Amino acid sequence: MSHAELPAALHGLMAEFETPTALVRAAEQARLAGYREMDAYSPIPIEELNEALGLRRTRLPKLVFLGGVIGGTAGYALQYWSQAMAYPMNIGGRPYHSWPHFIPVTFETTVLGAALACFVGMWALNKLPQPYHPVFNVPEFARASLDRFFLCIESTDPKFDREETARFLAGLHPVGVSEVAP
């Protein structure tokens, strides 16, 4: 690589590992070395990475709770309004606001609201679907969904230096280190 093209933007540097353990260790060391803008990629979920990368707890449970509350309220309100106000009917002398009858549907709409919030919320927080991402420029990355584990230190990290970071990654005993075109 020639120094003339150094300023050419780089998404980051990516190291490839063979085992989940190696990836977690690498992530821990990169964090110890002061790197923050990085991500790990793996074919299986690895719980230990959350700590190694310093990931914060997700807001998703709060969204799901909110979705459930909205779903339940909307479901009950719909029943109250339609049965007691918009279209009151005398069914066996029951009160128009016969709340025990409204519980099953309220339950179902609560579940529906929570599930939709969970589904939409998870993909939205993950910013998916995303048609293009630089990591796919690395040919080896095709194995990230099979049997290889990757750690990518991104060029936005203040400590990122093309040479220095590459040396650091090489010191973690990876299978290889690749530059990730943006």
Partner 1 sequence: MAPPEQPHQGRVTPPVIAPGHTFRSVTDKIGGIVLTKRTPIGWFVGFGIGFIFLLVLNVTIGNLLVTGIGIWGNNVPVGWAFDIINFVWWIGIGHAGTLISAILLLFRQQWRTSINRFAEAMTLFAVACAAMFPLLHTGRPWLAAYWLFPYPNTMGLWPQFRSPLIWDVFAVSTYGTVSLLFWFTGLVPDLATLRDRAQSKGVRRIFGVLSLGWRGSARHWHRYEMAYLLLAGISTPLVLSVHSVVSFDFAVSNLPGWHATVFPPYFVAGAIYSGFAMVMTLAIPLRKFYHLEDFITMRHIHNMTKVMLVTGMIVAYGYANEAFFAWYSANPYEAFMMSNRMTGPYALFYWTLIAINAVMIQLFWFRKVRDNIVLLFVLSLLVNVGMWLERFVIIVTSLHRDFLPSSWDMYAPTRWDFAMFTGTIGLFLSLFFLFIRFLPALAMFEMRTIVPEAKMEHEHRG
Contacting positions for partner 1 (CB under 8 A): 19-21, 24-25, 27, 39-50, 53, 55, 58, 60-61, 64, 68, 75, 78-79, 82-83, 86-87, 89, 91, 94, 98, 101-102, 104-105, 107-109, 111-112, 114-116, 118-119, 121-123, 125-126, 128-133, 135-136, 141-147
Q: 112, 118, 114, 108: which is closest to 79 by C-alpha?
A: 108
CB of 75 to partner 1, least distance (A): 8
> Considering the complex, what minimum distance in angstroms separates the CB of residue 54 from partner 1?
11
Q: Which is nearer to partner 1, 41 or 160 (CB)?
A: 41
Nearer to partner 1, 2 or 87 (CB): 87
Cβ-based neighbours of 85, under 8 Å, separated by 6 or more? none
Q: How far is the CB of 175 from partner 1 (least distance, A)?
A: 14
> Least distance from C-beta 24 to partner 1, angstroms?
7
| Pairing verdict, β 38-41 and 12-17 | unpaired
State the nearest-atom distance from the C-beta of 112 to partner 1, in Å.
5
Q: Which of 96, 118, 116, 104 is nearest to 76 (CA)?
A: 104
Task: Tell me how far apart the terminal alpha carbons of the chain are, to the nearest angstrom.
Answer: 16
What is the length of the chain?
A: 182
Q: Which is nearer to partner 1, 1 or 85 (CB)?
A: 85
C-alpha angle with apex 75: 69 to 80, nearest 5 degrees?
125
By C-alpha distance, which of 136, 118, 120 is closest to 128? 120
Nearer CB in complex with partner 1: 49/153:
49
